[in-house]
Chain A
Amino acid sequence: MTGKPQALDTTPRTPSVPGTPGTALLKAVFKPLASLRLTIVCLACAMFIVFVGTLDQVQIGVYEAQLRYFKSFFLYFTLPGSQFRIPYFPGGYTLGAVLLVNLIAAHLARFKFTWRKSGILILHSGLILLLIGQLVTSLFEEESQIQLDQGQTKNYSESPYFDELAIIDQSKPDSDEVISIPASRLIKGQTISLPVKGVQLRVDESYENAALINPNQLPSPNYPHLRLGPMAVAVEIQKTYKQNERNQPTAGVTVLKDGEPVGSWALSSGFPQPVQFKIASDPFSIVFRPKRYYRPFSITLEEFKHDRYAGTDIAKNFSSKVRLVDPSAHENREALIYMNHPLWYSDLILYQAGFGNNDQTTVLQVMKNPSRLIPYIACGMMALGLVIQFGMHLVSFVRRRVVT
């Protein structure tokens, strides 16, 4: 290709400097890990899961597709009529991890510190940083929403996907202790020990998703249901994956103190009303609700605007004027959140995401991503690496042409 393959062939492939026995062992391990074939296979597999995941996204929605194909170690096949899952293909985490190890191994095994390869080194370091950043994002990113009515104040945001069964100890005068049990832990028949002395939670019934209906709407009085109150019962329905729908997990639970039942309740995240009860004269409450993330600051919605183009119903602008109060940072200020102008505060970004209730309610998306700057740095490094590498080759190429 360049007219000098013979010269390359004479170059020894292994370093002549002898290594220690440990180094030799490591090389033996790293050689297959550093294989370019492995890189190609991983990239091909990644293309396959992107393709299949994109197709499946139509059926199961973006979030579930991300979980199943990209934020998983394997793709699973569930045997019909059973809970048994058989892994049949590597998932995004596996492929990402193998690619990362492959790239690092290639560097350790093959690359040398020379000026001529500095561009490639920077470029690949950027790629490694990008992969690690994506991994950190995937593991530590926190996505939630704050739904505020006009004039309402909240110091917490709620997960759009996850729910929690919260048991709240209200015995202290100034603060409450919340025991948060993820909805996924509520498995029928299981008893969960809580980090309160001698208190357990028994799950008598559990629905992944439920419809809340009037008792009169039950097909028959014996139809399996959980009674939430005099005017509402919950019946189990298929889990939803639609983007504009939310599952309403519902459970029948019994709180036990030293093995003795304290009370039994049917609770649904679709009807997050706390129920009061007592454990040994201490006041407690229990509620099934969207998972909460408490913040050290509070947000008040002062005004929500939904401007339309004159004479039409076409949205022109959505904006939320909010007041942010953080006593610990002596912060008390107004902020306007609108398209492309999120509110950055602490390690969070608050975007305008939705509205409702005749434009009386705003929905702010709250993003927490500890590695949000990494993609910018990584892309900068890759661009710099490319410029250096191409630049050096261009210069040497032009010089050769001038000489000839």
Chain B
Amino acid sequence: MFLHWFPSFFGSLIGEDFFRSRPARRSLLEAKRPGEVGSLLLVLCALGLAACNNENISVYRVPKENNQVSLQTGSGNLVPPPPSNPANWTKPDGWTEKALSEMRLGSFQVAGTNDETADVSVTAFPGDAGGVESNVNRWRGQVHQPTLEGDQLAQSWQEETVDGAPTIIVDVETPAGTEKASAILGAAMRTADRTWFVKMTGPPDLLKTQKDNFLRFVRSFHFSSASNEEKAQPQEPPTGQVKSTNDR
């Protein structure tokens, strides 16, 4: 019954000519004015033009980053949580802790006489961080000292061991007669998976008085076993790399 009925019904549906007009009625085209059709096309064109804004230079205003943090956390604390750093150190007396940045794991200010200040930073980078030599030469360049190579460079630093990590200590300052004298006390410590840098920058006189404090600070470093344990753990994507929740 159904098999007989269905083709017949469908046939009637298809056979009906929806598009044929009846003389007694007017089509939409005849009822509308051309302006209305044109306005429809204009809307489509406007949509098309609006699509082209991805390549444009835009200017916008945003709240300052620091304001956002205090606004959002409600705590007024501008210091972001420190990155996980598998090392401890002891801050010498007289050094003031400063706000950390994305790169800095430790940040201090050292005040001297005559309103002089020096800056101390602690950073760590994976592997050999480009090599100790290139970093020492970079520091030398910052105080207008020439680049050294080989034995000459090796003679410019002291070597020692801090908590089992081979360490070099660099003491370098601008050549005599430089208009704005400055000096760098630097230490690079090579642990199993990363290189730690401690760098003090400031006026040469202040750094001379702070050298003992700097060395005590560097020697206070204690690298937890986490650095080595990290290698033994199964490989997780490093920070910044993420997986989709759809991944298996």
Contacts and interface: CB of A to CB of B under 8 A. Distances in A.
B176 interface: no
A315 B245 contact: yes
Contacts, number: 204
Interface in B13-69: 13-23, 25-30, 32, 34, 37, 40, 44, 47-48, 50-51, 54-65, 67-69
A68 interface: no
B14 A1 contact: yes
Given A110-B27, A151-B81, 20 more contacts: A1-B15, A2-B12, A2-B15, A15-B26, A15-B27, A17-B30, A108-B29, A109-B28, A112-B22, A114-B25, A153-B72, A175-B62, A175-B63, A180-B60, A273-B103, A354-B243, A357-B240, A358-B236, A393-B12, A393-B16
A100 B47 CA distance: 14
B61 A107 contact: no
A151 B44 CA distance: 45
B239 interface: yes
B106 to A, nearest CB: 18
A107 B127 CA distance: 69
B129 interface: yes
A352 interface: yes
Contact of A215 (B20, B37, B68, B130): B130
A2 B11 contact: yes
B73 interface: yes
Interface of B: 5, 8-9, 11-23, 25-30, 32, 34, 37, 40, 44, 47-48, 50-51, 54-65, 67-69, 71-74, 80-81, 102-103, 125, 127, 129-131, 134-135, 138, 236-245
Given A113-B25, A356-B237, A136 B47 contact: yes
Given A112-B22, A185-B57, A393-B12, A155 B68 contact: yes
Contacts of A174: 63-64, 67
A100 B44 CA distance: 10
Interface in A100-143: 100-101, 104, 106-114, 117, 120, 135-136, 138-140
Interface stretch (A23-31, A234-242, A259-267, A375-383): A23-31
A273 B103 CA distance: 9
Nearest to B36: A108
Given A174-B64, A175-B62, A353 B244 contact: yes
